[in-house]
Structure formats: structure tokens, C-alpha cells
Structure 1
Amino acid sequence: MRVQVVVFEGVEEQDFIAPVEVLGMAGRASDVRTTLVTTGEPGRVTCAYGTRLDVEHGWSPEDADVIVVPGGGYNRNDGSGVRKVMRDEDFLRRLTESAALKVGICTGAMVLSAAGITKGRNATTHHAAKADLAASGATVINARVVDDGDLITGGGVTSGLDVALWLVERFLGAGTACQVETVLEYERRGTVWRR
């Protein structure tokens, strides 16, 4: 399974690093490859709390089975974060056209919403953005993780842990997910809502 995790100026560190760690651990025992990518050209990204990353790859839809879009900065007014990504028409078009399973972590679900992917679908996001998600035409489910087939969303900053563990269970089995939980010393929160 080829997973690409998108990072961008103002991305929330916890939103992307949790899936990277969970999927990286799963990749030690299986065929999971996780790659950080930018929305456009490779380069340096400064995250919400100042972490700087040199990202070697831009997103290439043809090289991803799963695309993870984290959140960050939804309520900021400085032009960074998901609000900027939500205005990136080229990225949104490529996201819509991609056959990859789409995953939104926290307010990353709002990027998927801006692309029209959540319209008429079951989804969740951070509590502060749920009204906006509903207004965009999604059916908002009050669950930690919502699996609507080829669209998976997680509510809240730390939901990336739960979403990634669900991906591991869904594609690699409960045994592998339990092994990763044991190493992390983390127990998943809530029930995964599935259609």
C-alpha cells in the first residue's frame, strides 16, 4: 500500500506525524510505504508550531493508493494552513480526479470538502468546523473515525492516530493493528463508524 501524506505551510504537526508513525510501524512488518509530499513542488514547509521540514516529493496521484490530508490553521487568518490549500484549484482538481482512497485528518476534511469530495457523503472533522462541513453538503457523523468506503475522515487533532490504526486494521488486519497499538502504548478511542 502506497500512502502519501500531504504537508503544507501551517500544517498541524500532530495531524500528519501520527499517521506517519503508525503507518511506518506497520510498514516494518508489511508492504506499506509512507511518503511525505507537498501539494505542489518539493521544498521546505513550516508547520503550525514552527517545525521545519524539507519535503523531497510533490504529490503524484499515480503513485498513491491512499492520500492523507491533515489539517491545521483552519481558524487562522494569516493565509496559511488548510484555508490556503482549500483555495489551491490545481491541487483540488488533482485530488478530485485521483483514484486514491482519500483520508482527511481533523480539518483536512475541509480540504476534501472544498474539492467536493464530501458532498452527500458521511464524514467528520474537528468540532470547530463541523457546521461548515455540514453546510458544504456532507452528512456529519459525530464519531472519531468515519469510514465511508473510499473516503475516511477523523475528528480532532489526535484523530490521526485512530484513523491510521483503522487503516492498518482495514488493510492489514486486526493483529497488525494490535501490534502497532502495543508498541505505541496507545488504545484507540471510540468506535469506527462505517456505512
Structure 2
Amino acid sequence: MALRVQILMYDGVEEQDFIGPRDVFGHAALTGGGAVEATLVRPAGPGDVTCFFGTRVGVPSAWEPTGGDLLIVPGGGDLLVRDAGVHRDLVRAQQAGVVVAGVCTGVLVLAAAGLTEGRPCTTHHLAKADLAARGGKVIDARVVDDGDLVTAGGVTSGIDLALWMVTRECGASVAARVESVMEYEQRGVVWRREG
């Protein structure tokens, strides 16, 4: 069965935060024999979003919080940090067994929903103090894997997070093929809870 990935889109989303993971999961689907299905989703339903640098993207699907195995929350603006409805849906997704992952400042959305409280996590270096103030146990690593909560720090860290998730869920051989096609090697430390 394929890993079902949803990438949450919204006005102000940082382009690299979502397109890096989208590329990784797209290549994993091709090189892994359909091991991954990735979809761009929007809380308000299908429609266009305007990204941080003005790129307009058509999003084909509505976000169904329990409709995937992995949810990627990219960073960018602070629109979702103030959206209580999105926060409730993030909690519902995680309670239903969805792995929730934040890229860069997207982790602050997870913090606003209470998902990082007392848990190992990371974010962009300029937002680490904010994450700690919201109760996160900030780890200095590129990717922090705490089981059903996975976070990554830095704008390009979404690529590394996605490659780690492909390794974790689909196997190292699929991740290695994706790295070869993309001519990119994972960088930085992946912190993972032992045991």
C-alpha cells in the first residue's frame, strides 16, 4: 500500500517549503513503483493559493485531516498560526494516526496547535526561540523525528525531511534512487528518539 502524503497549502506558503517535498515524493512514486501518493491540499477546499513570493498555485484537493498517512505543513506566512480550525484539525489528524510534519516555520503552526508541547522538535534558526517559548524542546538538528511528529529546520530542510520520511516509510533503497535522480544527498543530522 502506498504512503499517502498530503502537503498543506495556504496563502503565504513559502515556495521551497512545499515544492522540495513535493519533488521528493513525486520521484519516490516514480522510482519506488508507486510507493508514495502525494497530493497538494487546501483547508478551504480546492482553489488557488498565492505563495510567499507571489507564485500562484492551483491546489486540486480539499484537506481531509484523516485522509492520509503523512501531513506536511510548510512554513511561510503566519496565516495558519492564527487559525483555530486548522489547529483542531491538526490535533484530530495526529490522534487518528497521521504523522504530522512541519517544515521550517510551519513548525510554529504545529506549536500553535499544541503538538510540540514538551516534545523534541526543530525549526528555522530565527524561530527557535519562539518555538521554545511555546513549549517545544528544541533540538539542534536538521530533522527531528519523534514518531508521529517530525520537524525540520530551515527553508531547504523540506527536501531532507521528505527524504528521511521516504527512508523511514519506503526504505533506504527508494530514498537512494530519489537522491540519485535529484542529484541531491540528504544533509544535516536526523535526530531520532532511541527505543
The normalised TM-score by structure 2 is: 0.93
Partners of 1:101 and 1:108 in 2: CA distance: 14
Indicate which of 24, 27, 47 corresponds to 1:25: 27
Partner of residue 87, structure 1: 82
Structure 1 counterpart of 2:118? 120
Q: Which residue of 2 aligns with 1:6?
A: 8
Q: How many residues align?
A: 186
Counterpart of 2:173 in structure 1 is 175
The 2-side partners of 1:114 and 1:172 are apart by: 30
Among candidates 42, 48, 51, match of residue 47 of structure 1: 51
Separation of aligned partners in 1, 2:136 and 2:67: 28
Q: Deviations over 1:38-90 (max 9, x none)?
A: 12222110001111011121210221111100001xxxxxxxx2x21111111
For 1:5 and 1:35, the matched residues in 2 are separated by 6
2:9/2:42 contact within 8 Å kept: yes
- Indicate yes or no: 2:91 matched with 1:96: yes
The correspondence for 1:163, drawn from 161, 164, 167, is 161
> Under a length normalisation based on structure 1, what TM-score does the superposition of the two structures give?
0.93
Runs (5+) with no aligned partner, structure 2: none
- Measured in 1, the distance between the counterparts of 2:44 and 2:69 equals 18
Q: Give the 3-state SS of the residue equivalent to 1:117 in structure 2.
A: coil
Q: Which residue of 2 aligns with 1:65?
A: 69
Gap regions ≥5 residues in structure 1? 73-80
Q: Give the aligned partner of residue 145 of structure 2.
A: 147
Calculate the aligned-residue CA RMSD, in Å: 0.8
* Matching residue of 1:77: none
**Structure 1: how far apart are the matches of 2:101 and 2:9?**
13
Q: In structure 2, how many angstroms separate the alpha carbons of the residues matched to 1:56 and 1:20?
A: 14
- Taking only the aligned residue pairs, the percentage that are identical comes to 56
Equivalent residue letter for 1:114: A
The DSSP-based 3-state class of the residue aligned with 1:23 is: helix
- Cα deviation per residue 1:85-131 (whole Å; 9 max; x = unaligned)? 11111111011111210000000000000000000100000011100
SS of equivalent to 1:61: coil
